[in-house]
A = this chain, B = another copy of it.
Amino acid sequence: MKFSTRTEYGLRALSQLDKTGKKAVSLASVAKEEKISLAYLERMFASLKKAKIVKADLGKKGGYYLAKPAGQIKLFDVIIVLEGDVKPYKCADGAVCKPGGCSVHRIWVEIYKSLEKVLKNKTLNSL
C-alpha cells in the first residue's frame, strides 16, 4: 500500500504547471526544476493528456497546461491515471469467495471507499 514514484512525479509536475502562471510550460523546464527524467515525464504526460487532465500546445513556445483550473482537478482522477487501474480484490475461487464477495473483500471495499473520499475532496489546489 504505497504510492509509486510515478504518482509523486506526476503531482509535483502538475503543480509546476500551475505555479508559473504561464500559459504553456515545457516538460524540459519541469524536468529541470523537479529533477525528473524528461523521457519519463513525456510518457506520463501522454497519459495525463489522454485523460483530459492537461492539454498541450505543439511547437516552439509550446508546452503543457492544466485542462481546468487547479481547484477543479481532483487528486483522485490524477492518481487513477498515474497508478493505473485500481484493481478490485479478487478471491481465488468460488469455494472461498461467496457470490456477494468474501469477508476479506468487503473490508477491502470499505478501505477503498475511505481513500476515495479523501482523494475526491482534494484538488491540485491542496498541494
Contacts and interface: CB of A to CB of B under 8 A. Distances in A.
Interface of A: 1-3, 8, 11-12, 15, 34-36, 75, 79, 83, 86-87, 89, 91-93, 95-96, 102-104, 107-108, 110-111, 114-115, 117-119, 122, 126-127
A53 to B, nearest CB: 16
A39 to B, nearest CB: 17
A108 to B, nearest CB: 6
A78 B117 CA distance: 24
A53 B92 CA distance: 24
A127 B104 contact: yes
B3 A3 contact: no
A1 B115 contact: yes
